[in-house]
């Protein structure tokens, strides 16, 4: 798609304007989805941000495990009581992502550093507590799902351990008349799929695809019925998961048409303005990165690539 190519080039041409977090997010997703040499070069340039070579690895992971929450996220007021119920979750979630990135992209095994900062027994207990608390999974959504998939698939290398059918069942009891609950449901299902793909770097095995396609079937029905209530980031994340699961959907055309009508007056990138739950506070170049990388990914077939670049030398 011509628009996706223009946005792709605009982000690469202006990548120096992105902060470290957004630059890494963009590069790691494009590298995984397209195998772009430019994206791999950005990942090499981002090595100091992720590896932090001037610090001891144990200190890096310990700081992440103990990192405080900052700012407000989607459904903040709904989620906060559950973060208080599970005070280790936020930091552990952040640390697990770093462990994943260090291994998958830079070839560094940080498991021992992780277990030095928070014991494996504590991580297992946190997961078990979450898995027995349906309300927490329903409201924490992305945070709980990411935690479980990162811990099981990345750290423990366990491919058969998660109750995926139960995750589906949890998604059937949201009040989808409430726009926040609708958003949490979309995030719950899409991040099950993204987690299973190890963040776009591998195909989902045939034995698991039926349950994930069942999730997408439910989401498609909900998006059709609530199209104007759902922000563009959520719609595009759905399309990305459709690509991952090779699911047939009629929503590509209406969602991509909305994208074409949503180009920022400030540059060649998509903003979110046409929905009742639009992310209109995140419409500058940097904060729109998530939306735009999803749009780029949604325009081409899923062809996962390893993102390994090794430790860069400068």
Q: Over the stretch 141-157, which tens digit does the pLDDT of each residue have?
A: 999 999 999 999 999 99
Q: What's the pLDDT band for 311 if we cut at 50, 70, 90? A: low
Neighbouring residues of 298: CB distance < 8 A, sequence distance ≥ 6: 236, 239, 240, 243, 252, 255, 256
Q: Is there a contact between 41 and 306 (Cβ–Cβ < 8 Å)?
A: no
Check pLDDT > 70 for residue 312. Answer: no
Q: What's the pLDDT band for 280 if we cut at 50, 70, 90? A: low
Residue 263's SS3 state is strand
pLDDT attached to residue 141: 97
pLDDT attached to residue 72: 73
List the single range of 27-36, 61-70, 270-279, 302-311 with lowest mean pLDDT: 270-279
- Proportion of the chain above pLDDT 90, given as a percent: 92
Check pLDDT > 90 for residue 212. Answer: yes
- Quote the tokens at residue 151: 């811990």
pLDDT attached to residue 263: 96
Report how far residue 60's alpha carbon sits from residue 28's, in angstroms, rounded to the nearest whole number: 20
Report how far residue 147's alpha carbon sits from residue 123's, in angstroms, rounded to the nearest whole number: 10
Report how far residue 147's alpha carbon sits from residue 133's, in angstroms, rounded to the nearest whole number: 14
pLDDT attached to residue 314: 37
Neighbouring residues of 289: CB distance < 8 A, sequence distance ≥ 6: 11, 18, 22, 25, 26
Residue pointed to by tokens 């700012």: 71
pLDDT in tens, 91-135: 999 999 999 999 999 999 999 999 999 999 999 999 999 999 999
Q: Is there a contact between 88 and 146 (Cβ–Cβ < 8 Å)?
A: no
Neighbouring residues of 250: CB distance < 8 A, sequence distance ≥ 6: 220
pLDDT in tens, 194-211: 999 999 999 999 999 999
pTM value is: 0.96
Q: Is there a contact between 232 and 272 (Cβ–Cβ < 8 Å)?
A: yes
């Amino acid at each position: 798609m011509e628009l996706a190519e223009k946005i792709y080039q605009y982000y690469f041409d202006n990548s120096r304007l992105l902060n470290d977090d957004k630059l890494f997010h963009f590069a790691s997703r494009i590298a995984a989805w397209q195998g772009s040499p430019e994206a791999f070069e950005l990942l090499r340039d981002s090595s100091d941000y992720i590896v932090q070579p001037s610090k001891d690895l144990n200190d890096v992971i310990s700081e992440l495990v103990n990192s405080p929450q900052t700012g407000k996220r989607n459904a903040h007021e709904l989620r906060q009581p559950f973060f208080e119920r599970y005070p280790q979750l936020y930091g552990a979630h952040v640390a697990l992502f770093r462990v994943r990135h260090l291994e998958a992209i830079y070839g560094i095994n940080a498991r021992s550093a992780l277990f030095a900062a928070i014991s494996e027994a504590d991580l297992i207990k946190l997961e078990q507590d979450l898995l027995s608390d349906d309300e927490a999974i329903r409201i924490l959504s992305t945070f709980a799902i990411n935690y479980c998939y990162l811990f099981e698939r990345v750290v423990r290398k366990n491919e058969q351990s998660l109750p995926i059918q139960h995750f589906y069942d949890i998604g059937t009891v949201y009040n989808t008349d409430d726009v926040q609950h609708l958003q949490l449901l979309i995030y719950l299902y899409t991040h099950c799929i993204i987690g299973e793909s190890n963040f776009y770097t591998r195909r989902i095995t045939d034995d698991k695809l039926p349950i994930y396609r069942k999730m997408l079937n439910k989401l498609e029905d909900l998006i059709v019925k609530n199209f104007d209530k759902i922000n563009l980031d959520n719609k595009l994340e759905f399309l990305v998961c459709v690509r991952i699961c090779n699911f047939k959907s009629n929503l590509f055309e209406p969602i991509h048409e909305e994208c074409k009508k949503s180009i920022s007056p400030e540059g060649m990138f998509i903003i979110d303005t046409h929905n009742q739950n639009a992310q209109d506070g995140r419409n500058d170049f940097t904060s729109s990165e998530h939306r735009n990388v999803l749009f780029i990914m949604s325009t081409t077939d899923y062809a996962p690539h390893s993102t390994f670049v090794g430790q860069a030398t400068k």
